Each structure stands twice: as C-alpha cells, then as structure tokens.
Amino acid sequence: MTISLDQARTIVDAALAHGTAQGFNPLTVAVLDPGGAVVALARQDGSGFLRPDLATAKASGVLALGMTNRAIAARAADSPEFFTSVANLAGGKILSVPGGVFVRDAEGTLLGAVGVTGDLSLNDEAAAVAGIEAAGLVAVTGAEQ
C-alpha cells in the first residue's frame, strides 16, 4: 500500500495552512511513498532554494532507515561515524532533526512519510502532524515513544 496523490495533496495543503495560521516562516512540505519517491511537494513563496531537498530528505531518511528522526539523532549521538556513513550512502538524504514523520493508516500500514522544513524543527514537525491528521491518517514522529 502506498499513499495516494489525493491524500498527499490534502496533507500538503493542511500542513502549509497550519504554518500560515501559526505565523511560521515559509514552509516546504514533501510527501513520499514508502520507497522514498516524491508524491507531492509544495514550497511556500520566500523559501530558500534548497528547501525542497531538505523537506524530501527529512521524509526520505526516516523511510530509508525505518527510524524516526529522534531515533536517528540518538544513534548519531552514540556513533557519529554511523551517521556519517549512512548520510553518505543516502546521498545526503537524511536528517536527524524533527520534521520527518511517518504516515500510517488506521490499521497501522505504512503509507509513506512527510517532510517539512522552513521554521524551527519542532514547528516543522507540528505542521507535518497537522497535515497528516487532516487527511484522516496516523502520524508517527517518535515523540510518542
């Protein structure tokens, strides 16, 4: 199973709306399928040109390892060389700061992941969660653990 474009667009729109309502910096939101390919992406006006790559990397990294950003950060603290190797293998597409959030359906099936960047990491993450919940899906950040 994989996230549909309709679901992805709902997530993107709701995440951006959350950011706007909260007065965040311009955000960029990427929704990826479980294989790491982008399904939908949107960059708010005024965002830096690397933000699409950052948003994609936040989502790609958690899917690549099957680990939340917080878990990746904990591993990196334990072993910086682990992170260096993985970052290399992933072509840079991995980030250890919040903002990459797994998307599951009500049965717990993995549908993909969402990456948000542009404001403080915890705000990015909140926007991602808002977007996922607006689509009626389940957000997994690792903060639940």
Q: Summarize as ranges the residues that interact with its own copies (CB under 8 A).
A: 1-2, 4-5, 8-9, 25-26, 33-54, 57, 63-67, 73, 76, 79-97, 118
Cα gap 40→47, rounded to integer Å:
17
32 neighbors 73 (Cβ within 8 angstroms): no
Residues contacting 140, CB < 8 A, separation 6+: 68, 101, 102, 103, 104
Shortest distance (Å) from residue 66 CB to its own copies: 3
Shortest distance (Å) from residue 122 CB to its own copies: 12
122 neighbors 143 (Cβ within 8 angstroms): no
Shortest distance (Å) from residue 40 CB to its own copies: 5
Nearer to its own copies, 22 or 120 (CB): 120
Nearer to its own copies, 76 or 134 (CB): 76
